[in-house]
């Protein structure tokens, strides 16, 4: 889809997000114009042009070193076979068994055949990342750690009884101690059987929950506590092995901004993708320990903790609430779902949630996953409508497994939803650049966009805020900036995000950096010319690990190198664009490619001005051009076409 309208900007300011009372930075604004006309569509739209953000500081970047550390799946299998280590294979993991006393560094237990199953510990080795975990022993590590451990174990097995055994390397443990802030938060609450019915009703009203539908015993059954001072509900997060230690608290408290009736707060505080933790098992999902205690083989995956309460109270199936909602399912958690034969995914009836459910099913193994029909609201919404939650869970789910041949009967529900939710199908709407919604109809996964503009017109600046607009709405974004270093890009984004000249207000840096750090923004740690295979590997890794929805490559010429010249250079670029097109389709992500235009004397760019052959505009779903024209020697007008 090539854009046939244009956007222009004039001086002005519209604050987004809400700004503190500080001096306003210089900004630019947009107004939508019909191409070739002079009438303004919707009136002038002012948006902050310079905003930015540091990424923790920077958020985890993907570079060649990190990618080289990821082991090859076939090499792992080859090594296990070479060492005669028996293993089974699931969708996500290689599963092997080791003596529990060895991995725990304990003495040899008495030999009893009837207890042999309890004497072995299952090791789950992720086939993609090489991360392994032993959930029942709370151990974890990387493939290199496991390889060293297996080498010692295999060598010791081959030794004679008279020979001394080699010492086993220690494997790292998950930290299952209750953190001080967790214990403090938990101690603030009181058990529900110690509060009066009136206090319980006031608590539900403060959270805008249906008083008649929520029963005290439903919440008490999952050990919920009440913090009457803050009108909050406290849900315990426990590790899923005996003795079920308390490792976190999820707090449901009234919303302060009024946009939502309540908000979920994780204790200890969690920054998506931030920090230096060696794994992403924590924050831990709510409800896994209950399913584990009951030895359940079927669970329901939900995006928030109150949905889990509704399902637990109204059905016989055990729910599990993900800590990051439907924004991300870290691969390190997949081992904890291996014991379940059936996983039903019930997310809100939003397009982004439905697509996230499909992505999670691919991670978990779509043959055992079932997805709720898209016209069904969340469990909490169904409860408010007094619908039969148990009946919905039994009748309104469908399998996620992919088939090469399908029928209209299988597509019928999707066709109906396309028609019934036309506005939602159009995609996520832009907030900072609202006129783009009339032209592009929003942001959609699985598409390829090409963006071009003359040198110095502000391609990177515009694309930075363009991606920031979507990222602030929960679109997990991966930036590949090969021309501008990540530090400079992050600095620009922080200014755009805050709408403050932070260089003159350094006292405001930490609050705004903390807010930006919570956005799902990630960066490729590449700079300068790179091989396209390495870039695609990093992108695929990010899609799997961080559930990326939007990838920006700035710019594509840095992947062609200096070897190709003339016509060969055009052919090389066409091949690269074709591979990005396939990547967008295969992974169902939106890929935006920044491409320099040809050096020509024309005042305005056209689709023919984009460097290379016709492949770029033919493969693209959207072609966006940043135009510039001189009004007078002192004023230049820029607009998007």
Question: Is 4 part of any domain?
Answer: no
Range of the domain at 572: 52-60+433-625
- Predicted confidence at residue 132, as pLDDT, reads 94
451 & 538 share domain: yes
Question: Is 406 part of any domain?
Answer: no
521 & 475 share domain: yes
**Cβ atoms within 10 Å of 526's Cβ, excluding its own:** 22
592 & 541 share domain: yes
DSSP 3-state assignment of 571? Answer: helix
Question: Is 118 part of any domain?
Answer: yes
Report how far residue 476's alpha carbon sits from residue 495's, in angstroms, rounded to the nearest whole number: 20
**Cβ atoms within 10 Å of 239's Cβ, excluding its own:** 22
Element (H, E) at 467: helix 459-471
Q: Taking the mean position of all CA atoms in its chain, how far away is CA 466?
A: 19
Report how far residue 395's alpha carbon sits from residue 408's, in angstroms, rounded to the nearest whole number: 20
Report how far residue 214's alpha carbon sits from residue 224's, in angstroms, rounded to the nearest whole number: 13
In total, how many domains does the chain have? Answer: 2
Report how far residue 345's alpha carbon sits from residue 398's, in angstroms, rounded to the nearest whole number: 10
- Predicted confidence at residue 570, as pLDDT, reads 75
101 & 151 share domain: yes
More confident residue, 458 or 330: 330
Rounded mean pLDDT, 468-472: 89
Question: Is 598 part of any domain?
Answer: yes
Residue 419 confidence (pLDDT) above 70: yes
Rounded mean pLDDT, 46-50: 33
Report how far residue 379's alpha carbon sits from residue 306's, in angstroms, rounded to the nearest whole number: 8
pLDDT bracket for residue 604 (50, 70, 90): low
Stretch among 208-212, 579-583, 601-605 having the lowest mean pLDDT: 601-605
Question: Is 366 part of any domain?
Answer: no
pLDDT bracket for residue 474 (50, 70, 90): confident
**Each residue's pLDDT tens digit, 514-542:** 888 888 899 988 877 778 888 888 898 88
DSSP 3-state assignment of 69? Answer: helix
Stretch among 50-54, 212-216, 449-453, 476-480 having the lowest mean pLDDT: 50-54
Question: Is 329 part of any domain?
Answer: no
Question: Is 437 part of any domain?
Answer: yes
- Predicted confidence at residue 518, as pLDDT, reads 87
Q: Taking the mean position of all CA atoms in its chain, how far away is CA 133?
A: 21
Report how far residue 140's alpha carbon sits from residue 129's, in angstroms, rounded to the nearest whole number: 13
Buried b (16+ CB within 10 A) or exposed e, 417-447: beeebeebeebbbbebbbbbbebbbbbbbeb
534 & 498 share domain: yes
Report how far residue 41's alpha carbon sits from residue 44's, in angstroms, rounded to the nearest whole number: 8
Residue 108 confidence (pLDDT) above 70: no
Element (H, E) at 416: helix 408-420
56 & 90 share domain: no
Report how far residue 561's alpha carbon sits from residue 605's, in angstroms, rounded to the nearest whole number: 25
Question: Is 372 part of any domain?
Answer: no
56 & 81 share domain: no
């Amino acid at each position: 889809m090539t854009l046939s309208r244009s956007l222009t900007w004039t001086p002005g300011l519209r604050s987004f997000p809400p700004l503190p009372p500080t001096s306003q930075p210089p900004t630019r604004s947009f107004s939508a114009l019909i191409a070739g006309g002079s009438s303004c569509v919707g009136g002038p739209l002012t948006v902050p042009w310079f905003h930015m953000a540091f990424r923790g500081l920077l958020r985890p970047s993907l570079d060649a070193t990190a990618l080289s550390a990821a082991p090859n799946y076939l090499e792992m299998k080859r090594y296990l076979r070479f060492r005669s280590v028996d293993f089974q294979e699931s969708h996500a993991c290689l599963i092997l068994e080791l003596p529990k006393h060895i991995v725990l560094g304990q003495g040899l237990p008495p030999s009893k055949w009837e207890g042999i199953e309890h004497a072995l510990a299952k090791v789950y080795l992720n086939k993609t990342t090489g991360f392994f975990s032993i959930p029942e022993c709370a151990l974890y590590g990387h493939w290199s750690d496991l390889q060293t451990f297996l080498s010692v174990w295999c060598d010791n097995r081959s030794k004679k009884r008279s020979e001394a055994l080699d010492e086993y390397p220690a494997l790292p443990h998950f930290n299952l101690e209750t953190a001080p802030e967790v214990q403090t938060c938990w101690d603030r609450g009181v058990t529900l059987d110690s509060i009066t019915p009136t206090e319980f009703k006031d608590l539900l009203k403060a959270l805008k929950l249906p008083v008649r539908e929520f029963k005290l015993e439903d919440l008490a059954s999952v050990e919920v506590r009440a913090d009457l001072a803050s009108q909050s509900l406290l849900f315990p997060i426990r590790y899923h092995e005996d003795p079920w230690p308390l490792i976190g608290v999820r707090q449901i408290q009234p919303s302060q901004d009024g946009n939502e009736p309540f908000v979920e707060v994780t204790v200890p505080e969690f920054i998506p993708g931030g920090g230096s933790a060696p794994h992403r098992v924590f924050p831990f999902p709510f409800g896994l320990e209950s399913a584990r205690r009951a030895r359940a083989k079927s669970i329901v995956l939900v995006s928030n903790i109150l949905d889990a309460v509704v399902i637990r109270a109204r059905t016989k199936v055990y729910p599990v609430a993900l800590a990051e909602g439907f924004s991300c399912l870290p691969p390190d958690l997949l081992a904890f779902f291996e014991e379940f034969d059936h996983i039903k995914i019930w997310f809100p009836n939003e397009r982004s949630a439905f697509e996230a459910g499909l992505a999670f099913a691919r991670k978990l193994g779509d043959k055992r996953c079932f997805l709720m029909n898209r016209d069904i609201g969340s469990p909490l919404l169904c409860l408010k409508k007094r619908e039969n939650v148990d009946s919905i869970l039994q009748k309104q789910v469908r399998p996620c497994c992919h088939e090469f041949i399908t029928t209209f009967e299988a597509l019928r529900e999707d066709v109906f939803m396309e028609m019934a939710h036309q506005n939602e199908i159009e995609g996520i709407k832009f907030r900072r650049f609202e006129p783009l919604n009339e032209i592009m109809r929003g942001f959609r996964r699985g598409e390829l966009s090409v963006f071009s503009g003359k040198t110095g017109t502000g391609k990177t600046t515009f694309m930075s805020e363009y991606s920031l607009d979507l990222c602030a709405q929960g679109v997990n974004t991966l930036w590949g900036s090969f021309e501008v270093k990540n530090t400079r890009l992050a600095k620009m984004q922080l200014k755009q995000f805050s709408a403050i000249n932070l260089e003159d207000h350094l006292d405001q840096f930490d609050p705004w950096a903390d807010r930006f750090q919570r956005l799902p923004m990630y960066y490729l740690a590449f700079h300068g010319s790179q091989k396209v295979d390495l870039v695609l590997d990093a992108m695929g890794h990010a899609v799997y690990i961080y559930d990326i929805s939007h990838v920006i490559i700035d710019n594509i010429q840095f992947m062609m190198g200096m070897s190709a010249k003339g016509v060969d250079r055009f052919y090389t670029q066409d091949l690269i664009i074709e591979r990005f097109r396939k990547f967008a389709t295969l992974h169902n992500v939106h890929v935006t490619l920044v491409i320099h235009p040809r050096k020509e004397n024309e005042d305005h760019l056209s689709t023919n001005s984009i460097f290379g052959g016709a492949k770029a505009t033919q493969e693209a779903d959207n072609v966006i051009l940043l135009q510039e024209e001189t009004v007078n020697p002192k004023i230049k007008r820029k607009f998007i076409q």
